[in-house]
Amino acid sequence: ELFKEYFNEKDLEIIKPHGIGNQATFDLQLEALLKQNNSEFVYFAEDDYFFLPIKFKKMLLKRIIIF
């Protein structure tokens, strides 16, 4: 729901691999990144990420990518 708050649903691709493991999930992420050519920024989120209030919005507004 967090991403739907800031992006049009047609601009999102939410992939739910359901328990395939970290390496297989990462491989899917890389495949998705390499296939796309219409986004300057790509954000990969895992289901175990913890988002602090308003930090995601601030990141989007400032276009800061945090590693």
Average pLDDT score over the chain = 80
Nearest to 2 by CA among 48, 49, 56, 61: 56
Contact 51, 2 (CB under 8 A): yes
* Mean pLDDT in residue range 6-26: 85
pLDDT value at 66 more than 70? no
Predicted local distance difference test score (pLDDT) of residue 37: 87
CA neighbours closer than 13 Å in the CB half-sphere of residue 51: 13
